[in-house]
Amino acid sequence: MLDILLSPFMLRALVAAAATGLAAPAVGTYLVQRRLSLMGDGIGHICVTGVALGVLTGTSPVLAAIVVAVLGALLIELIRSTGRASGDVALALLFYGGIAGGLVLISLAGNSAFALQGYLFGSITSISAGDVWVSVALAAVVIVLCVTLLPQLFAVAHDEDYARTAGLDVRVYNVLISVLAAVTVAVAMRTVGLLLVSALMVVPVATSQQFARGFRSTMAGAMVVGIVAALMGVGTSAYVDVPPGATIVLVALLGFVATWPVGILVQRRRRERVPFPADPVAEHETVGETHGHEHGPHCGHVAVEHGDHVDYIHGVHRHAAHGGHYDEH
């Protein structure tokens, strides 16, 4: 039984899968933190153009994909940071441009769209020894940077404004995350395929953050989930005739679904322990600022029932009439 797993092409596949399984969730944790979960998907779509460009020019599709992916990631970051379009609009623009560009270029190269299939869905069992080493080396760079620069990258992803006042060059770190994501996508292209790579960046993080208390533990947990899913997916495909890339993603999703009920319970227990704010009525705080008008049904402030009276939402305050003044509630 073990013979199949130990055959050279299977060993190569396992090593490449392990590298992807570790690197993708490491970058993915930062993307989820920045609410750019679909960025991996966007870069994957751009990579289609890169692969087609590689085929058209007769150079390495992987190399071309890395170059185009990095350029695309920088473009996403540029659009996002200048605020010309929101992050998801910027991603949508590149999604469709990337796919359409790839299909046009591949047909210019005299190929049908089927030539892209190995990159869209992965072809890990046909990976060469040279490709494995490139994958492992690039994944190692991604993982080392993600782990060693964690304090800086966490600060920037968590609170960009604060990071700026801590003297960090926010733009450099944002670009770095984008480039790391682009490299990871290009590396994972052969393992799980461009259309599924984002799953390996996001699903392990989603599984891990149900239980983790902190950022570092989320990332560590996600990397464990990622490598387990990658190895189990490839291993399964050795015995059952299923595509390894899709199997890796399904295993990761199954892991999430299986842990979900437990995660719900953990989350609920944590929420129950959120302390209640101190009783504001007991303090009887009056509004300190000068107050331009009387609150009433037509004053323009949102009126909300609060026990036996009505509070008027006043920015971040709730004003309740009390005698000749207003109380803070």
Partner 1 sequence: MNDQVLTLADVAVSLGGRPVLRNIDLSVAQGEVVALLGANGSGKSTLVRAAVGLRPVRTGSVHLFGTPLSSYDAWQRVGYVPQRASATTGVPATVWEVVASGRLSRRRLLLPLGRADRAAVSAAVDAVGLGDRASQPVATLSGGQQQRVLMARALAGEPDLMLLDEPNAGVDVDSQHRIADTLAERAAAGATLLVVLHELGPFAPLIRRAIMLREGRLVYDGPPSGVVDLHDAQPFGGHHHPARSEPDFVPEVRAPFEGGR
Instruction: Look at the block and give the residue holding tokens 């504001």.
Output: 280
How many angstroms separate the CA atoms of 20 and 78, rounded? 27
Minimum distance from residue 288 beta carbon to partner 1 (Å): 3
Instruction: Give least dist CB 32 to partner 1, A.
Output: 5
Q: Closest approach of Cβ 101 to partner 1, in Å? A: 22
CA separation for the pair 40, 170 (Å, rounded) = 20
Burial class (CB in 10 A: 0-12, 13-18, 19+), 276: exposed
Nearer to partner 1, 87 or 244 (CB): 87
Q: How far is the CB of 275 from partner 1 (least distance, A)?
A: 5
The Cα-based distances of 177 to 24, 77, 142, 159, 173 in angstroms read 12, 10, 10, 15, 6
- DSSP letter assigned to residue 194: T
Comparing CB distances to partner 1, the nearer of 240 and 278 is 278
Shortest Å, Cβ 214 to partner 1: 4
Residues 6+ apart with CB under 8 A from 318: 304, 306, 311, 312, 328, 329
Q: How far is the CB of 300 from partner 1 (least distance, A)?
A: 4
For the bound state, the minimum distance from the C-beta of residue 11 to partner 1, rounded and expressed in Å, comes to 34
Q: Kindly tell me the sign of the dihedral angle through the C-alpha atoms of 291, 296, 297, 303.
A: positive
- Give 153 or 248: the residue with its C-beta nearer to partner 1: 153
Binding site for partner 1 (CB under 8 A): 29, 32-35, 37, 80, 83-89, 148-149, 151-152, 154-155, 157-159, 161-168, 205, 209, 212-216, 218, 270-271, 273-278, 280, 283, 285, 287-290, 292-293, 299-301, 314-317, 328
| Nearest residue to 99 via CA among 147, 47, 55 | 47
For residue 329, what are the contacts with CB-CB under 8 A and spacing of at least 6? 280, 281, 306, 311, 318, 319, 320
Residue nearer to partner 1 on the CB measure, 2 or 284: 284
The sheet carrying 303-306 orders its strands as 303-306, 309-314, 317-322, 325-328
- Burial-class residue 257 by CB neighbours within 10 Å (0-12, 13-18, 19+): exposed
Taking the least distance from each CB to partner 1, the nearer of 1 and 273 is 273
Q: Which is nearer to partner 1, 288 or 297 (CB)?
A: 288
Minimum distance, C-beta of residue 299 to partner 1, in the bound complex (Å): 7
What angle is formed at CA 153 by the lines to CA 71 and CA 14, rounded to 5 degrees? 70
* Closer residue to partner 1 (CB): 83 or 307: 83
* CB closer to partner 1 out of 118 and 263: 263
